[in-house]
Structure 1
Amino acid sequence: MNIILAFIILASSGFGLTGTDQREDTLSTIMQSSITSAVIQSKQQVPGKPGVKQNTTEIDPQADAPKVKGVYVTAYSAGGSRMDQLINLIDDTELNAMVIDIKDDEGYITYKTDNPKLLELGDSQPFIKDIHQLMDRLEKHDIYPIARVVVFKDTILAKKNPELSFRKSDGTVWKNGGGDSFVNPYEREVWEYNLEIAKEAAKLGFKEIQFDYVRFPEGFEKRADSLKYTKTEQSRVDVVADFVQYAREELAPMGIRVSVDIFGYAASVPAAEGIGQDFVKISKNVDVISPMVYPSHYSAGWYGSQTPDKAPYQVIKGSMEDTHKKLDELGEKKPIIRPWIQDFTASWLGSGNYTKYGKFEIEEQIRALKDTNVDEYLLWNASNRYTEGVDH
């Protein structure tokens, strides 16, 4: 989509995101922040954070990995009876991977850990009762295991260590409208904590670490000057990109891939300075980038559709074309593009604005990916109820 047209649409309608997906924040606020930042952002580049090595990780640590076609699995599902259905789904289709919550959206480590470093800062909520048994089961069924680690959205760490979070003038930890707290990307201790979780996941047998919520809170630029937190002269964009680079350099020697989830719109607009996400800078430092391009998340006018949720092929094709354009400048450093696509019905959009998602809608998204030379993808359904009979 022409970027000027995108600005006009966004300024008049917002990004139109609502719903029950646990990753979904008030995205329209972030979109407006992106537009404002694009207009006023400084051209000054700040040197990397002291102690962070420059790009040295050039080789894919999992060059023999399969072309991933996977599903999202909550820790509750992974440790419960639903896992039987999910494994059957993988066995009976061309799907071959699972993205499993190892550190969830609240900040809980989802299995029993005896690691003193992790227990000092965080907390374990063992939804997965026997992590070793789970890993053995995945290996037996030849399922490529990806550990999802939610990074800077972490209510548990913020409560236990307010100094690592964002505090209000009275000293209490700031919360967003949903009651969630974030921790400060400027704090190196937060980096090390999340990397310790990632390294433990790697030792357990996960082949890839997928970092989510690699950003500041939504609308942060509106409250950045009123909250108390540690910061440096680095821009928010640079400190987030530096974390990703550091994570990759730490995990690559272990043979582990690094992937990052990012809002799908990021491929179509300038950097989101407010939340510290620059699509290209993050992508340059990962093995895999996973834009969340659910058609339901786009408002009227995107990619020529007045009802994007009803146009799965059109939206996915447009978003992938934008993604390629954005990342082609990276040349050999262009990561694998593995988007999150929609396997849920967005009924919250209201009558006339959504369609029931089933076999046809999912296959249309997959067809659009193939037509834009993208052969990996992940299916998202927050309740882990995936459509059967799909030609993957």
Structure 2
Amino acid sequence: MGTPGYYIGLMSGTSMDGIDAALVNIAQERMELLHSISHPWPAPLKNRLQAQASGDTCTLQEYGELDHLCAQEFARAAEALLHATGIPSSMIRAIGSHGQTLYHQPKPPAPFTLQIGDPNVIAERTGITVVADLRRRDMAAGGQGAPLVPAFHQAVFSSPEKNRVILNIGGIANITILPAGGNPVRGFDTGPGNCLMDRWCQKQQGLPYDKDGRWAHQGEANAKLLHTLLQDEYFHASPPKSTGTEYFSLDWLESKLERHPNIPGRNVQASLLALTASTIAFAIQNWAKDTEEVLVCGGGAHNQTLVSALSDRLSPALVATTDSIEGGIQPDWVEAIAFAWLAKQTLDGMPGNLPSATGARHPVILGGIYSAGPVY
């Protein structure tokens, strides 16, 4: 597995429910999670980020301030992780920082993706080399820039006997299709994961998310609304494909609700949960029909109502979490560990993308290296 050592992965997804920080020891063919924490976003900064991520305009001053402030929080997350373990920064080979996505637009003629959290600030503050800006090289090679985790999923979760799908449910849901016996791996974003449910719950209940899907469980999906939601062209497009919360936003939802007024809030929530479950199941049944195991990670793994809905739709395939198999990983930390692994790939001069997932013309070494360097 290249050069062994300690690596830190930093990940904040489109749900913005915190910065996940994972300290990983990667040695030969073994990967060990040593410690992990979730560093909360300060509420004022989170509010500013959410305001920008759901809109189409951002002043240069606001962009610059957010880039710096996010970097400070990513650095604090890494520092808190090291403080909890007692491991000095000098023992860390690199930090793999995903950054915070503000906008993801992979369509021609000018595809781009924007993650902020200045890696120069992180490297300077922590004294650790940082690998960041991990999506744009894949886009330069004709890819979607997402999903990037399938290469890691292949390295960690593939089985010679089982046809598996790794399902990550963050703000956006994505799948990695891992056929048994090393056949070609595919992956793509299926559509909204938690993002619409979170935003609707915030608007209606004043809560950041629907814990365990309890509010959705109290409601009943509205068949007409669900039918309207499912007509969106994204769900019927062929992979490779990727999307973001700038597309599946509260504005997107409210434009659909205009056609279906006076639906009780809990029934809208139940419909959104059904949308997430239905589009994930549709993607798996259409592109991985021989799937035997669906291993779930991300925040959505804790939504029991959603997991139950997926189990119903995907039966007889087993639906379980990524820590349910031998050598598995606790579902909250899969993506953070993946970005530690991607940092290692970059430092070792190895590609980190999977063209069969992103649509890139060829494998590429991802990101830029921001060396901690000596202090003069």
TM-score (norm 2): 0.30
Whose RCO is larger (CA < 8 A, sep 6+)? 2
Q: Could you state the TM-score of these two structures normalised by the residue count of structure 1?
A: 0.29
